[in-house]
Structure 1
Amino acid sequence: MLYLAEVKTQTRGFVGGYKTELKLLTSQAADQTWTAITGEDIINTDAINEQTGKGALYILNLDGNKQLQGTPELAGSRIVNYLRHFSRTLEKSKSQEEEIEEWKVSLQIQGEEIAKRQAELDAQQQRVQEQEAKLALLEEEKNKLTAAWEQLGSEQQRLNSNKIDQGEIRQKLESISGVITQNMPQAESLSNGFQEILSGVNHQQATLDEYWRELEYSKNSLEQQRQELQHQKDSFNQQQEQLLMAREELAQAKFTLENIQNQIEDKENLLHQFNLTRDGIARLQDEISLLGEDGEEQQVDIQSLESMPLGDLENKVNEVKEETAKVVNFVNMQEEELTLQSDEVKDIQNKIASANEVDKLALEAELADAQEAMKLLNETLVGQRRNLKKQQKVLNEYLKVFSRRKGIIDLDFAETVNIKPLLGEVESQKVEIEEKIEQFTDKLNELKRVQQEQQEIVNSQEQNYQQLETQLHSDQENLENFCSHLMEIQTKVNFLEQALNPIQDQLNHIKNHSENLQGEIGQIHHKVEAQYGAVNELQSMLD
């Protein structure tokens, strides 16, 4: 799991490297969201090799036990990518808000149209209620007709049995016929009214059917796009796994590259020490050679010293001693300056070991100047030491003659020491160091070749990781857009279902009720016509 952490403290270890204390700020969940971490959650690590300041932000990859996986990564570039993605999402959200507002206006227009249809349905229902009232009146008239018909039947029986007056019967028949004639147009009017109602209902149903077809199309489109969304989610999850594998491979490649770089640094440090040792052996070899060499034969006129008055010889010896003392003082001063210069070189080397990358460049230039000055001083001292050696030999010759003429014969003058065995040992060590230098140089060149190959691998994997990450961000945006579009369709489907079902139920109720009432009116109309015919028949019989 990825964490965002900030540097609290950083201290340098005794053997190099840094001990860094990191405070965990947020963690990344599986859905790519970040959650703040409350409290003090501290991670200590020595995996950060560069010196950094307090408050610097790093991306850490921790396992379930919060153990660091790979090398911490500076969070700057990643935060910039997140901000860029957030900015694009914000712009897209604004664009979607505008689309939603337009869609709301469209829904509002549709709602107004549906409300208009609802008002028309309400008017139709009111007309149905009015027709129902007329139907009730018609039922009442029907009952009256039925009662009159029953009365007519009774009168007919009386006519047949008692032979009552036909004029009275005719009068009653005309009365019944007038009632029937009066109510027949009303029944036809009711039938025509219900026919108009059914025509209006059918018209409303045709309009509503268009919305039902749109709803069915939206449902089919919604189901297809849900399947496509699931396919995109599966593909997105696979890309996430590929990105995670690429990240782990990149971290492993970087770790290998860092290990090779550390080996190169170790080999370069050792090679530098070997070069310093070789230079020291060379200087030691020069100094030993200087101490052991007899030098050139000194042009001292021993015969003239033997014949010179003793007082003059003593004065001459004192002069040579003074000249030798001057040379000794000069050489000692040069030796002290060389020692100071050597201390300065060591001091600069110590500073380089603890300096950062910015200061190290300036210190390395300063070290090169100091080493060059020390080299010139050492070359100058080589000649001065030879001169001192010659001067001391001249002084020895004068002292030998002067001591012998004064009768002192046991003085121990400096004699040349045989240092060939020592020079041979030094030469052997020099050859051994040069062999090691050659071996380490070959190993260093091989490591640099491997480093170059590993760097190419890291660059290739890093480019592949960046491409996968860019593609993942693009697919994530497409997935978010697709989800938004799907939500719009779902909202539209829900709205149409909620709006259409009550209207359809009401329309079906009006249609069924109107058809039933129209059927009843038709039956009444047929009965009235039959009664009218019967009355006419009775009238014709009486006539």
Structure 2
Amino acid sequence: MQYLAEVQKKSGGLLGASKVELRLIACQRSEDNWQAMAGNNSVVTDKAGEFGSGSLVIAEIAGNDVKRVNAATQPVLKILQHYSRLQEKLKDKDDDIEQWKQSLTYQSQELNRRVMEVEVREEELQQASEELARLEQQRTEVTVLREEAQRAQAEIEVKNQEIAATWAQLDQEKQNLESRLQEGHGGGLLDEAQVRALEAQIRQLADSSHGVGDLQSQVAVLFDRLDAQQPLLDQHWQQAESGGEGGAVEAWQAWADCLAELEQLKGEMAGLQRELAAKKQATESLQRQLKANNLLRQQLTHLAGGLDPELAAQINFQELEAMSLEELEAKVQERQRDYDRTFNFVNDQEEELRLQQQALEELKVRIAEANEFDRLTLETELADEQESYGILDDSMFDQRRTLSERRALLNEYQKVLARRQGQVPVEGVAPSIDLGPVLAQLEMDTKQQSQWLEELKTETQAVEVKIRDREGPVATKTEELARLKQQAQNAGNGHPGDTYRTVLSPMQEMVHGLREQLQALSETSDRLQEARHYQGQLVEGMRQMLSEMSGSNHLSAVA
């Protein structure tokens, strides 16, 4: 079974020179399953001598026997890459789940909105149905009025024809009477039969004009009923107009206002996201600068002939001065082997990093020459290689620093050994350079950059909070905008006002036509009334004339 272990070397003793203790950290249960070890489990082996203390290795152990020990760099890198991809997939799944939740929430809200709209539309349709029923009743009344007006007009036509016929007959009799009056007493004026016939015609003429007054009363009643219908039509027209274009205009205005508010929120979000990206970039730059400063400080300290305080704390100079030369030489040799192993390992990693860089360049060339289909596959491969290169490059920074530290420790051990052996170090011909001010300034810069880094992290968190606070209003405003747009589109389509106009237009035309027809009937009845007046005068004159002629006939008969 394979274990992830940490190399632990104990100083002192002859056993420590050949045996190395491995502290077991985790064991592999399956290809992608590692389980942390409980407690403090360790094994001793002589197969890990080339690894420095604190190094991570992969040890294959059967029972308590260590079969093989290999560097853990590549397996750990692969595990980290696999974990990174798994995290990205999980994040994508979480994003998908969140989108599904939002979609379901939006669909639920949309369904509730549609239900409310259907209920409102049902109420509007119910009201429209009632209004249409009232309109239908009013149209029936108008139709009845029109039929009555037509009957009145027909009666007026009949009366007019009867009056014209009687008038013609009466005019003929008048002419006959006048002729007889001019003839004098020659043959007598009228006999009794002729008098009765004339009286009958006069009565018929008088009776024929009695219906004119009734017709005028009917026309007046029809006018009153028609005038009562127009205010109702005007009210329906007002409802149709207020329920149509006015509602649509207000709905689109609400949509435009909501759109302006959403654009403002999105603009603020975009500005915050740009600010967040800039702060993250500045944070990464400061972190790289701090790492570079730490490495530079160690290198300058080494050039100045001094030792970094953190490294100096790892060396017990009193113990080195007190131990025998043989033990000190063994310590120096151990440090030399430790440095050589680290040096070889770092060189191997540098070579692998160089090969990966070369592979990246070759992939870029292949992508530039590939077709569209192959380019997609190669770009995915390039992204994986760049990720692997980035992880290895980041790990190399700490490894280079470890190599520099072990070189500095080896130099200090060698200096102590040379001094105790009586060797005098050869002074260089070049004058020594005082790097103290440079190191002091570098230390101040490092502290200042660390302070800036903390401030940047705080500001970045504040910007992230602002962005999260605005995500909710943006989503809410987006849903509101879609809802208002749908309402605005529905406001002008299929509204009851359209149905009102469809019914009201022919009814209004019918009322106008009926009013013109009644106006013509009124004018005709006025003319008939005037004719009736003249007709009455004529009838009265004819009766008087007939009475006189009848009296003359009676006198003639008596004589």
TM, length-normalised to structure 1: 0.54
484 and 367 in structure 1: CA distance in 2 versus 1, 3 angstrom threshold: farther
The residue type equivalent to 1:336 in the other structure is N
Aligned to 1:538: 552
Q: Percent identity?
A: 10
Post-superposition CA distance 1:369-409 (Å, at most 9, x none): 868965875686578647855886799799x89xxxxxxxx
- Where 1:211 maps in the other structure, the secondary structure is helix
488 and 331 in structure 1: CA distance in 2 versus 1, 3 angstrom threshold: same
State whether residues 166 and 205 of structure 2, in contact with CA within 8 Å, keep that contact through their aligned partners in structure 1.
yes
The residue type equivalent to 1:339 in the other structure is E
State whether residues 240 and 500 of structure 2, in contact with CA within 8 Å, keep that contact through their aligned partners in structure 1.
yes
Asked if 1:437 is matched to 2:455, the reply is: no
**Match of residue 208, structure 2, among 162, 185, 190:** 190
State whether residues 162 and 208 of structure 2, in contact with CA within 8 Å, keep that contact through their aligned partners in structure 1.
yes
- Where 2:296 maps in the other structure, the secondary structure is helix
Post-superposition CA distance 1:2-27 (Å, at most 9, x none): xxxxxxxxxxxxxxxxxxxxxxxxxx
Aligned to 2:519: 505
Residue 438 of structure 1, CA deviation? 0.8
287 and 523 in structure 1: CA distance in 2 versus 1, 3 angstrom threshold: farther
Aligned to 1:177: 195
Residue 442 of structure 1, CA deviation? 2.7
Aligned to 1:518: 532
- Where 2:325 maps in the other structure, the secondary structure is coil
223 and 383 in structure 1: CA distance in 2 versus 1, 3 angstrom threshold: closer
State whether residues 229 and 479 of structure 1, in contact with CA within 8 Å, keep that contact through their aligned partners in structure 2.
yes
Residue 524 of structure 1, CA deviation? 3.6
- Distance in 1 of aligned mates of 2:449 and 2:356: 24
Aligned to 2:85: none
Residue 180 of structure 1, CA deviation? 1.3
Aligned to 1:274: 289
458 and 87 in structure 1: CA distance in 2 versus 1, 3 angstrom threshold: closer
- Distance in 2 of aligned mates of 1:180 and 1:98: 69
1:79-478 superposed matches below 5 A: 114=142, 117-155=145-183, 157-158=184-185, 168-169=187-188, 172-195=190-213, 197-198=215-216, 201-202=218-219, 205-219=220-234, 222=237, 246=261, 249-250=264-265, 253-281=268-296, 284=299, 296-297=320-321, 299-300=324-325, 329-337=340-348, 339=350, 377=399, 381=403, 385=407, 389=411, 421-422=434-435, 425-442=438-455, 445-446=458-459, 449=462, 452=465
- Distance in 2 of aligned mates of 1:346 and 1:438: 34
529 and 206 in structure 1: CA distance in 2 versus 1, 3 angstrom threshold: same
194 and 477 in structure 1: CA distance in 2 versus 1, 3 angstrom threshold: same
- Distance in 2 of aligned mates of 1:322 and 1:537: 179
Deviates more, 1:136-145 or 1:437-446: 437-446
Aligned to 1:62: none
374 and 290 in structure 1: CA distance in 2 versus 1, 3 angstrom threshold: farther
- Distance in 2 of aligned mates of 1:415 and 1:187: 163
The residue type equivalent to 1:174 in the other structure is E
111 and 233 in structure 1: CA distance in 2 versus 1, 3 angstrom threshold: closer
Residue 433 of structure 1, CA deviation? 1.9
232 and 128 in structure 1: CA distance in 2 versus 1, 3 angstrom threshold: closer
Aligned to 2:509: 495
- Distance in 1 of aligned mates of 2:502 and 2:427: 106
- Distance in 2 of aligned mates of 1:435 and 1:321: 38
Aligned to 2:87: none
- Where 2:209 maps in the other structure, the secondary structure is helix
TM, length-normalised to structure 2: 0.52
507 and 286 in structure 1: CA distance in 2 versus 1, 3 angstrom threshold: farther
The residue type equivalent to 2:325 in the other structure is V
Aligned to 2:74: none
267 and 517 in structure 1: CA distance in 2 versus 1, 3 angstrom threshold: same
Deviates more, 1:293-302 or 1:136-145: 293-302
- Distance in 2 of aligned mates of 1:323 and 1:437: 36
The residue type equivalent to 2:201 in the other structure is N
- Where 1:169 maps in the other structure, the secondary structure is coil
Post-superposition CA distance 1:134-157 (Å, at most 9, x none): 2233123212321233244335x4
- Distance in 1 of aligned mates of 2:508 and 2:387: 76
Where in structure 2 are there 5+ consecutive unaligned residues?
Answer: 1-102, 362-380
Post-superposition CA distance 1:18-67 (Å, at most 9, x none): xxxxxxxxxxxxxxxxxxxxxxxxxxxxxxxxxxxxxxxxxxxxxxxxxx
- Distance in 2 of aligned mates of 1:331 and 1:463: 58
- Where 2:228 maps in the other structure, the secondary structure is helix
Residue 183 of structure 1, CA deviation? 0.9
The residue type equivalent to 2:452 in the other structure is Q
State whether residues 251 and 488 of structure 2, in contact with CA within 8 Å, keep that contact through their aligned partners in structure 1.
yes
State whether residues 246 and 465 of structure 1, in contact with CA within 8 Å, keep that contact through their aligned partners in structure 2.
no
373 and 424 in structure 1: CA distance in 2 versus 1, 3 angstrom threshold: same
Deviates more, 1:496-505 or 1:473-482: 473-482
Aligned to 1:310: none
Where in structure 1 are there 5+ consecutive unaligned residues?
Answer: 1-75, 159-163, 303-316, 351-358, 402-411
- Distance in 1 of aligned mates of 2:335 and 2:393: 30
State whether residues 257 and 455 of structure 1, in contact with CA within 8 Å, keep that contact through their aligned partners in structure 2.
no
Number of residue equivalences: 415
- Distance in 1 of aligned mates of 2:232 and 2:221: 17
Post-superposition CA distance 1:119-174 (Å, at most 9, x none): 5444443433333332233123212321233244335x44xxxxx6xxx526x242
- Distance in 1 of aligned mates of 2:130 and 2:496: 18
- Where 1:518 maps in the other structure, the secondary structure is helix
Residue 215 of structure 1, CA deviation? 1.6
Aligned to 2:27: none
Residue 541 of structure 1, CA deviation? 3.1
- Distance in 2 of aligned mates of 1:363 and 1:275: 27
Residue 177 of structure 1, CA deviation? 0.9
State whether residues 332 and 410 of structure 2, in contact with CA within 8 Å, keep that contact through their aligned partners in structure 1.
no
